[in-house]
Amino acid sequence: MAKKIKNIGVFTSGGDAPGMNACIRAIVRTGIYEGANMFGIYRGYDGMIDGEITPMDSKSVSNIIQRGGTILKSARSERFMTQAGRKKAAAQLRKHKIDGIVAIGGNGTFTGAEIFLKEHHIPFIGIPGTIDNDLYGTDFTLGFDTAVNTAMQAIDKIRDTADSHNRLFFIEVMGRDAGFIATWSGLASGAEAILVPETKTYMEDLIQKLETGWKRQKTSSIIIVAEGDDAGGAYEIAKKVKEKFSHYEIKVSILGHMQRGGSPTCFDRVLGGRLGAAAVQALLQGRQNEMAGMVNGKVKFTPFSKAIRHKLEIQKDLLALGDILAS
Ligand code: F6P
């Protein structure tokens, strides 16, 4: 039988995402409720290597549920990718007698955890935290709902100008490898086209679409471009369109990191609370090497190996719906 875990560490890693603080609060308070000692590890794997570890009590997570970012700070660690870095991290955890970890992050975080576990045998449970929503094993990642609502509100505001001045706007949203933010924010704001990295962008099709809209007397248009689209970023695509389609005045807007910050939505706070509590309980029950995700409204655990190696498919049905509704 697995040894009972007494001291649990929590950290955030990779890009920060709204709802991480609500999740940290749930992890710390559930752990204390279950009788464990709780520790915060600052700056992700880098802070673990450098021993930036402090005890957390119930009060240390007061008044953070509504805050964006992460009180534990975050980082993408190059050093943890080396065996020497991981060895130092393990020594720091042992120094604090930490015998279980909850890691909030994305693919890179779980990849590191999987290797670490094989080398140092300290149990990990992961929680999907990224605005990109690109993790297999969960319907929604922490931060995605807030990010798409932020993007949608910004697009709505830009549409006012597009409409008032009869302009064509290319709006770039985040998503280096994934088009979920583009798909959802584009669908919710009635975009004329949504361009994502997962599907090939054909410039002729885009121009054809714009021509059709123009003939139907559309006086303004919004095209949403995920930053990682294969045809380039919003500036590059706008330039290509301008060469062939001069009917509109063309403008570009890059939403950027505003999508990562801000107070989490109700959905992300509740998601953070449920996954945080489930992750701690799972650790205490002897589970390890798994990600706690939300599938069809229920907490579901997926092995890291599966979460990392499988790619979550972009929702092509939503992209098709966007096309129909914009026609
Ligand atoms: O993974 C989340 C994300 O916001 C991506 O959508 C984006 O491409 C990337 O992080 C940006 O990372 P950074 O803040 O390190 O530039």
Closest to 93 measured CA to CA, from 128, 60, 53 = 53
Phi, psi angle pair for 127, to nearest 5°: -130, 130
pLDDT at 169 over 70: yes
Q: In this structure, is residue 42 part of a structural domain?
A: yes
**Do residue 127 and residue 111 come from a single domain?**
yes
Percent of the chain surpassing pLDDT 90: 95
**Do residue 126 and residue 217 come from a single domain?**
no
**Do residue 277 and residue 237 come from a single domain?**
no
Mean pLDDT confidence for 285-309 = 97
pLDDT at 224 over 70: yes
| pLDDT band of 180, cuts 50, 70, 90 | very high
Query: Residue 310, Cβ neighbours under 10 Å: how many?
Result: 12
DSSP state of 223: E
Q: In this structure, is residue 237 part of a structural domain?
A: yes
| pLDDT band of 311, cuts 50, 70, 90 | confident
**Do residue 94 and residue 51 come from a single domain?**
yes
Return the H-helix or E-strand segment holding 327: none
**Do residue 104 and residue 208 come from a single domain?**
no
**Do residue 53 and residue 109 come from a single domain?**
yes
Write out the catalytic residue numbers: 132
**Domain carrying residue 63:** 7-143+264-309
Which residue CA neighbors atom 12 of ligand 1 most closely? 15
**Do residue 48 and residue 176 come from a single domain?**
no
Q: What is the pLDDT of residues 247-279, one digit of tens each?
A: 889 999 999 999 999 999 999 999 999 999 999
- Count structural domains, the chain: 2
Residue 106 CA, closest ligand 1 atom number: 1
CATH number for the domain harbouring residue 40 = 3.40.50.450
CA of 176 to the centre of ligand 1 (A): 7
Task: Write the secondary structure of 105-136 as one string of H (helix), E (strand) and C (coil).
Answer: ECHHHHHHHHHHHHHHCCCEEEEEECCCCCCC
pLDDT at 1 over 80: no
pLDDT at 308 over 70: yes
Q: In this structure, is residue 35 part of a structural domain?
A: yes
Q: What is the pLDDT of residues 59-76, one digit of tens each?
A: 999 999 999 999 999 999
Here the tokens at position 36 are 């464990």
Q: In this structure, is residue 70 part of a structural domain?
A: yes
